[in-house]
Amino acid sequence: EVQLVESGGGLVQPGGSLRLSCAASGFTFSSYWMHWVRQAPGKGLVWVSHIDSDGSSTSYADSVKGRFTISRDNAKNTLYLQMKSLRAEDTAVYYCARDKGYYYDTSGGHWVMAFDIWGQGTKVTVSS
């Protein structure tokens, strides 16, 4: 079964750090780009970060750039999100998601992308 399982969430004080993990199984983890997406309580989905298949390329939302670091260990089939200088506004459920593949649809003249597998999420609460 294709599966993503997040862990590492919890309660942390403002200014603190936390590392989230996402364990992948049932597919060739090293072949896929991966993403982190978060959702604050009662709010919508917000993309956080991406990493390509071998970890050589990453990108971040402006709201977390310089504070969060995405990484992966393909030997362990695990994705990580190191979070530092945490703020109250980082409080959210954090999901990891598999990127189905990014390609150009020549028939339609548009780029295609999708997150086809999601984990169940891990909750991060930043509060004193």
Partner 1 sequence: SSELTQDPAVSVALGQTVRITCQGDSLRSYYATWYQQKPGQAPVLVIYGKNNRPSGIPDRFSGSNSGNTASLTITGAQAEDEADYYCNSRDSSGNHLVFGGGTKLTVL
Give the footprint of partner 1 on this chain (CB under 8 A).
Answer: 35, 37, 44-47, 50, 59, 61-62, 95, 97, 100, 105, 107-108, 110-116, 118-121
Quote the least distance from Cβ 44 to partner 1, whole Å.
Answer: 4
Q: Distance between terminal CA atoms of the chain?
A: 39
Measured CA to CA, the distance from residue 75 to residue 55 in angstroms comes to 12
Nearer to partner 1, 27 or 47 (CB): 47
Measured from the CB atom, is 3 or 13 closer to partner 1?
Answer: 3
Instruction: Name the CA radius of gyration of the chain, rounded.
Output: 15
- Residue 56 DSSP one-character state: S
Quote the least distance from Cβ 83 to partner 1, whole Å: 18
H or E, element range at 27: none
Provide the sign of the torsion angle of the four alpha carbons 91, 95, 23, 83, taken in this order.
negative
Closest contact distance (angstroms) between CB of 62 and partner 1 is 8
Closest CA to 121 of 19, 36, 11, 33: 36
| Residue 16 Cβ vs partner 1, minimum distance, rounded to whole Å | 26
User: Between residues 105 and 128, which has the closer beta carbon with respect to partner 1?
Assistant: 105
- The nearer residue to partner 1, 107 or 128, going by C-beta atoms, is 107
Q: Which residues pair with 70 in a beta bridge?
A: 81
